[in-house]
Amino acid sequence: GAAPAVQAQPTIRWRLTSSFPKSLDTIHGAADVFAKKIGEMSGGKFQVSVHVPGELVPAFGVVDAVQQGTVEAGHTAPYYYFGKDDTFAIGTAIPFGMNSRQLTAWFYDGNGMKLMREFYDQYNIVNFPGGNTGAQMGGWYRKEIKSPADIKGLKFRVGGFAGKVLSRLGGVPQNIPGGEIYQALEKGTIDATEWVGPYDDEKLGFYKVAKNYYYPGWWEGGAQLDFYINKKAYNDLPNDYKAMVEAAASHAHTTMQAMYDARNPAALKRLVANGVKVQAFPKSVMDEAFKQAMELYEELSASNPNWKKVYTDYRNFQRDANLWFRFTEARFDSYMQSVKL
């Protein structure tokens, strides 16, 4: 039964700045889902307005804006901010890191949330996982990649931190926001680019100027987006609104990955029909990149205490998770990929 009660709830308006253009209904859409759900749950009393890059803040200005309280919230890929501290990268994806389920598990049932929040605290940020793209594709290349030598001198747009490993292979990484990549590739300012996967990449049109589409994106085996909330704005919320923020983020986390997983297959088919050549990175490239990544992580662990603290726990979790996923998950999937349905 339902009996009416009277309750004072504050009216709150937040501004959320996204790093992603509105055309990307997947990754930008997760912020829209988050805002809409909070509005619904609060009966319109807690409203979050979503802003595209450049409207209030540049695409890569989310951390500064949330830290300073210019906006109450942001939706971004933490690894864009590796220039401030490489530890940010662990919040999205590091080369040869965890896949999406493993990363979600580390955040929600391992030490991931606790450790990342300790780290984000110095930036006045409280974070919530807000979507994962799944394992990304390895990007679009004008020329084929046959060995590690083909990476040397390659001007390659890559999201954030992965550029550090690419540099060690002799590549020339470029950190360019999603909305500006096509032009750079078309003009020849860059030789190659990665973004996410078939559904987003098709929209951005890369296949028109580079036909070689490689996999896997070994630097993004499961790239997580986060909602970043200004600490004071979050702490000022009543408890019911705090719980809404958490649950709305989880809803966006679930539905964003669902969009990618549901829409990538058809997009891949269309790309192939448009003459795209889908191919695996040679093992020699994977092995050299893996070696360089592991060396980089050792160096960072020696030089950056923040990195060392978070990465040590991440790595241990990942090692055990891979051991387990090797059995029933991998066997089930490989069998299903071998049969004709």
Tell which positions 34-93 bind a copy of itself, by CB under 8 A. Answer: 37, 40-43, 45
Choice between 46 and 81, CB closer to a copy of itself = 46
Q: Are 229 and 66 in contact (CB under 8 A)?
A: yes
Among 47, 49, 254, 301, binds a copy of itself (CB under 8 A): 254
326 part of the interface to a copy of itself, by CB under 8 A: yes
Q: Per CB under 8 A, does 275 bind a copy of itself? A: no
CB of 312 to a copy of itself, least distance (A): 12
Please give the residues from 104 up to 163 whose contact with a copy of itself meets the rule CB under 8 A: 104-110, 129, 134-138
Q: Does 248 bind a copy of itself (CB under 8 A)?
A: yes
Quote the least distance from Cβ 86 to a copy of itself, whole Å.
Answer: 18
Instruction: Answer yes or no whether residue 246 interacts with a copy of itself by CB under 8 A.
Output: yes
Out of 17, 102, 124, 193, the residue judged to bind a copy of itself by CB under 8 A:
102
- Min. distance of Cβ 50 from a copy of itself in angstroms? 17
- Give the span between the Cα atoms of 69 and 84, in whole angstroms: 18
* Structural tokens at position 254: 């679930």
Torsion angle (degrees, nearest 10) of CA 277, 282, 283, 287: -110
CB 293 within 8 A of CB 311: no
* Near a copy of itself by CB under 8 A: residue from 56, 172, 184, 247: 247
Contact 252, 130 (CB under 8 A): yes
Q: Is 32 in the site for a copy of itself (CB under 8 A)?
A: no
**CA pair distance 96, 151, nearest whole angstrom:** 18
Q: Are 28 and 64 in contact (CB under 8 A)?
A: no
Q: Which C-beta is closer to a copy of itself: that of 273 or that of 323?
A: 323
H or E stretch at 126: strand 125-132
The answer to whether 299 contacts a copy of itself (rule: CB under 8 A) is: no
H helices of 180-282, in order, are 181-187, 198-204, 231-235, 239-273
Q: How far is the CB of 125 from a copy of itself (least distance, A)?
A: 20
- Calculate the alpha carbon distances from 299 to 119, 169, 302, 311, 316 in Å: 19, 16, 5, 12, 17
Smallest distance from a copy of itself to CB 216, Å: 4
To a copy of itself, the closest distance from the beta carbon of 247 in angstroms equals 4
Residue 271 neighbours by CB under 8 Å, 6+ apart:
198, 201, 202, 207, 213, 278
Question: In this chain, which stretch among 77-85, 142-150, 157-165, 254-262 interacts with a copy of itself, using CB under 8 A?
Answer: 254-262
